[in-house]
Amino acid sequence: MIFRHRFDPTSLREYDIRGTVGRTIGTEDAYAIGRTFGNVVAGDGGSTVVIGYDGRLSSPSLERALVEGAMASGMDVVRIGCGPTPMLYFASAQLNADGAIMVTGSHNPPDHNGFKLVLANRPFFGPQIQMLGQMAATGNVGAHKPGTTRALEVKGAYIDRLLRDHRGDTRPLNVIWDCGNGAAGNVLSLLVRRLPGRHRVLNAAIDGHFPAHHPDPTIPANLQQMIAAVRQDRADLGIAFDGDADRLGVVDDTGEILLADQLLMILARDMLRDHPGATIIADIKTSQVVFDEITRSGGQPCMWKSGHSQMKTRMAETGALLAGEMSGHIFFADRWYGFDDALYAALRLLDVVSRLDGPLSAVRRALPHTVSTPELRFPCPDMRKFDVIAEVATRLEQAGATVCDIDGVRVSTPDGWWLLRASNTQASLVARAEGTTQAALDRLTAALSAQLARSGVTLPDFSCHATPH
């Protein structure tokens, strides 16, 4: 019997397959992903696929359909159950699996869900995802003898591995953690029992309704509960995770938020003491100060495209030991596997903070200062967002502007820089600007706004604020 399936084209994203449950993604799609991806694995001579899922309400049913599809392609499926996405990456690496799939909606709204795919422990993304859609649509999926399935408990081994390199016993810390009712809850609750110091865990119960707040630590409103707890408990810091725990957000001992590139700078300085000259990658949204500081600290900075798949691929190409994105993904290849793991990054941060002579807030205040916008994310239809970028790029080229175009457009001027790129995970555009002074930032944002207006897009109102990069 020939198998054919057509995905909603909007669900086939750059880094994953994702959509609104019941509208653009469902169990039939999950089965088709398992069926087609299993054929890809088999075509590479593989036979084992590891599958996990997050805490969203729709994840168990999608996982079951996914397993059925993979087995129908002859795969031997290892089911690790509910947990963080990095636990799936860990299991895949430990088992040397031929493929892995995580059912997760990450930080998107509760009615969204999706699939992150790994082939031979490397990201499966971009043209590969489009190929998967074409295979399903054309029926280019062979018949196979049914595969097998088995459950595997990996939480214990994952926690043991997280703790193996932990060195944070110089000074016991008082830490507030916020799981956001996401997939980190069970693992983190077990992990903190084995850490020195005092640890208070908020919203540990995995609940796909996300009753406390939305699980996206890049949005300040989602950190307010943790900030209040840090101040109330006089904690050393607070650490929050997104829905599948591959991204983190951090606040210092005063409850002030550290931006993700500030966190990368702190981690980079520490790592470069052990690995002088190491390559460190930051995404195109990152402050110029970070690249300058990596150089000053003896490292080799590399600017690259945003997106966890792009980062992991670039790390493998360059041999980089550390990478980070403004979205809160942190990637360690130093003593770790090179994938984005917010739990591991959190432990590395605890190591750093435990060795400080003073509070984390003193480090934050001592960082170089610039004036920047927050990350500006505003709606733009999926069918239009890339055209807007192309139009802006053409006009900038005609004007002779200094542009980095590895991911959208990053325009450099004597005032600083501004960035405009299309989100690969949402129907939106993303912008940011950083100036040497407030007046410089005003000129940069005016130029950005003018370019958007010429393409029929309005830059949303925002409050510029000084950020200590």
Asked if 268 and 297 count as a contact pair (C-beta separation under 8 A), the reply is yes
Catalytic (active site) residue 106: yes
Provide the residue type at 262 as one letter: Q
| Backbone φ and ψ of 127, nearest 5° | -60, -30
How far apart (Å, rounded) are the C-alpha atoms in residues 49 and 98? 6
Instruction: Identify the three-state secondary structure at position 1.
Output: coil
Distance of CA 210 to the CA centre of its chain: 19
Distance, in Å, from the CA atom of 289 to the CA atom of 468, rounded to the nearest integer, reads: 9
| Catalytic residue (one of 11, 47, 58, 106) | 106
Distance CA 428, CA 382 (A): 7
DSSP string, 7-66: --GGGB-SSSEEEEBTTTB-HHHHHHHHHHHHHHHHHTT--EEEEEE-S-TTHHHHHHHH
Q: What are phi and psi of 146, to 5 degrees?
A: -55, 140
Distances (CA, A) of 146 to 29, 39, 266, 318, 442: 19, 12, 50, 40, 62
- Angle between helices 382-399 and 438-454 in degrees, nearest 10: 120
List, by residue number, the catalytic residues: 106
